[in-house]
Structure 1
Amino acid sequence: MRHPLVVLALFIALTVGGGGLIGLVVETGGWYAGLEKPGFNPPGWLFGPVWGILYVLIGIAGWRVWRIGDWSSLRVWWLQLGLNFAWPLLFFGAKLIVPALVVLLALFAAIVWFLRETWGTDRPAALLFLPYAAWTAYAALLNGAIWWLN
């Protein structure tokens, strides 16, 4: 069995590294800058720090459910991570606003599912996902508004 802190580092490296790699692969400037955006669109500089913090929290939550052997919650954790990594590829990479919104709504559902799964088994893991749920709901609203305006 691996040392829990090594596994924690791996979970965080996976989430932060995966999110960072996708950020490097997809071009987020030109096309996105030319889109009509709602008044509640945050400044561009905010996305990196917010996602950096969220990816650390997501990694810690995944590690926590792994550590207690909650395989059901861990499967949901992997599902949300796959959806999370798919969204920027669809939105920024393929410029598919509506399919990206569908993925974002599925991501939000997976986050809520993880919250339900972990609320009674590992409350701290669930609490780590609350800011992620809030940001994803906001991102879905923003994605929907961008679709509506464009």
Structure 2
Amino acid sequence: MVMKKIITFLICLIIPLAVGGISGFATVTGIESWYSTINKPFFNPPNWIFAPMWTTLYAIMGVGLYLIWQSPKSESRKNALIVFGIQLALNFLWSFLFFYFESPGIALIEISVLWIAILMMIVFFRKVNITAGNLQIPYLLWVSFASCHLVAKLISIP
């Protein structure tokens, strides 16, 4: 029983970390080429902060997923898992839209939808497990910051 929980926990961690790792390739490609040439707002963090921050956020998503997965089966649990999948897919897509396809306007629309999906995930997670929901708050805050950063870039705030 303990081994099954450990394996489930590892799978729950690997899912978002793998998604983040794959989308990270699009990010690295964009940072090394296009992103390094654009004007960034004064509050742009240094590039080195992004990898540890996103790794931490993906790990937190995995812990939240595990807490939801371990909860008793219910309609609320099912809905929480669906919303988790939607937000993870949107998260994956954003890196490609912004960094790989170099489309900040489309990325702004998409990150707005992602923000709503993260907020919904927090609400749905909290219905099943309050801790799982609260763990996602730093993720929402980071995406909020990224959204402000993107708006500033689009309107050319120095």
Structure 1 position 131, deviation (Å):
0.4
Q: Structure 1 regions of 5+ residues with no counterpart?
A: none
- Check if 1:55 corresponds to 2:55: no
Counterpart position of 1:65: 68
Match of 1:81 in 2: 88
* Residue-by-residue CA offset, 1:76-130 (whole Å, 9 max, x unaligned): 0000000000000000010010111111111110111111112232011011101
Partners of 2:134 and 2:45 lie apart in 1 by: 24
Match of 2:41 among 38, 42, 49: 38
Residue 100 (structure 1) aligns with: 107
Match of 1:13 in 2: 14
Does structure 2 conserve the Cα–Cα contact (< 8 Å) formed by 1:65 and 1:71? Answer: no
Corresponding residue for residue 143 of structure 1:
150
TM-score by length of 1: 0.93
With structure 2 as the length reference, what TM-score do the two structures score? 0.89
Query: How many residue pairs were aligned?
Result: 150
CA distance in 2, matches of 1:64, 1:104: 26
Moved over 6 A (4+): none
Structure of higher CA gyration radius: 2
Greater shift in the superposed pair: 119-128 or 130-139: 119-128
Aligned AA (1:14) = I
Q: Which amino acid aligns with 1:35?
A: I
Deviates more, 1:54-63 or 1:118-127: 118-127
Q: Look up the match of 2:119.
A: 112
5+ residue gaps, structure 2, are: none
Instruction: Please identify, of 55-64 and 74-83, the stretch whose mean Cα deviation from structure 2 is larger.
Output: 55-64
Q: Report the RMSD for the aligned CA atoms in angstroms.
A: 1.7
Asked whether the equivalents of residues 26 and 99 of structure 2 are also in contact (C-alpha less than 8 Å), the reply is no
Give the structure 1 partner of residue 23 of structure 2. Answer: 22
